[in-house]
Structure 1
Amino acid sequence: MLMNHSKVMQFFSVVGEVTGRKKLQKMIYILQSCGVPFEEKYQFHFYGPYSEELSLRIEELCNLGFIEEEKEDKSNYIQYHYQITEHGVDFLEHFQSDMPDFSEQANLLLAESSRFLELVATMLFFKDLPREVVEKKVHHVKPKQNYSPVEMAKAWELIDTLVQ
């Protein structure tokens, strides 16, 4: 149990702060899809791949004081910010983990918008299909997003970079 919690905490020790629950979900999913050994199970949901396990794990880590969740009240929604606490850093120093170095991949993802990461994660959800079929699926399951051919090409480029 604590091993999976420590992997999530290690993610935060690498990225610093993540703004947005959707972005957090997509970053972990994309890293997992590219071989980083996160254990959360995902299913397809409104905004693409979603893990109830990850949501619960984050809540538990916040309750333990290892991760800090800050709520920012925007005009019509609440924006969440997450980062590891000093207590979390102390815990990680005493916990052995066999996580590979994924800092380069994580930083590439951190620089992207949650909308774009939703596209990338959705494409990876259908990764066993041919690329042209994946693009049709994305347009079918996400018609309101209206992703452009340029965004699709950029997403494929990022996926290719991440899996190398």
Structure 2
Amino acid sequence: MLDNIYILRDIINIAGGHIVGRKKLQKIIYIIQQLCNPFNNPYEYRWNYYGVFSEELASEIHTGKVFGIFGENYIDEYGYRTYVIEVIDSSNLSDIEKNKQLKSIVEFLVSKEPRVLEVISSIMYFQSRGLDKLEIEKKLNELKGHLSSFFECAFTAQEELQILMGEV
């Protein structure tokens, strides 16, 4: 369990030492896991209103807070409370931060707006369930219609991620 917590810590370090938003963190980790899975025990995700969600990931962040690896504060943003997960203990960093491909992916994802990440992770979730692009677009319209203005950007970002992975 602690191995994954340290990997999470290193990913958050790559992201600048903090990530604004629990949902954003969930989406970033899901996308990373789908692309290159640096975790010893992959997180299990289920579908929820905000897209993919892992109870295990939420639990490990909490455990990391108990062990003093992570801190969590909140900020008021857009009229609601957003949590900032930050690294407190950066000792004994792993080699994961030397992985240039992972570093590029993390930096790319952190630069994206949470709603775009929500759509990207939804696309990847539906792909992992065997849906083709037309079926995915239908599902997105059905479940994420309120984010339709982000669909094109998300599909483009997913193509850019495939380029970063060397899959194109």
Q: TM-score range by the shorter chain?
A: 0.7 to 0.9
Amino acid at match of 1:118: E
Q: 2:142 aligns with which of 140, 143, 146?
A: 140
Q: TM-score, normalised by structure 2?
A: 0.84
Flag as ranges the 4+ runs of structure 1 deviating above 4 A.
96-100
Amino acid at match of 2:85: Y
Q: Deviations over 1:130-152 (max 9, x none)?
A: 22221111111212222466335
Amino acid at match of 2:28: M
Which whole-Å CA distance do the structure 2 matches of 1:103 and 1:152 have between them? Answer: 20
Q: Cα RMSD over matched residues?
A: 2.1
Residues 76 and 7 (structure 1), Cα distance of their counterparts in 2 relative to 1, 3 Å cut? same
| CA apart distance, 1:126 | 1.1
How many residues align? The count is: 159
What does 1:7-156 align with in structure 2 at a 5 Å threshold?
7-16=7-16, 17-38=18-39, 39-74=42-77, 76-85=79-88, 88-90=89-91, 92-93=92-93, 101=99, 102-127=102-127, 128-147=130-149, 150-156=152-158
| CA apart distance, 1:69 | 0.8
Which whole-Å CA distance do the structure 2 matches of 1:10 and 1:99 have between them? Answer: 6
Please tell me whether the aligned partners of residues 116 and 150 of structure 2 are also in contact (alpha carbons under 8 angstroms): no
Q: Which runs of 5+ in 2 are unaligned?
A: none
Which whole-Å CA distance do the structure 2 matches of 1:100 and 1:130 have between them? Answer: 35
Q: Deviations over 1:76-103 (max 9, x none)?
A: 3111111211xx211x34xx56787210
Q: Which runs of 5+ in 1 are unaligned?
A: none
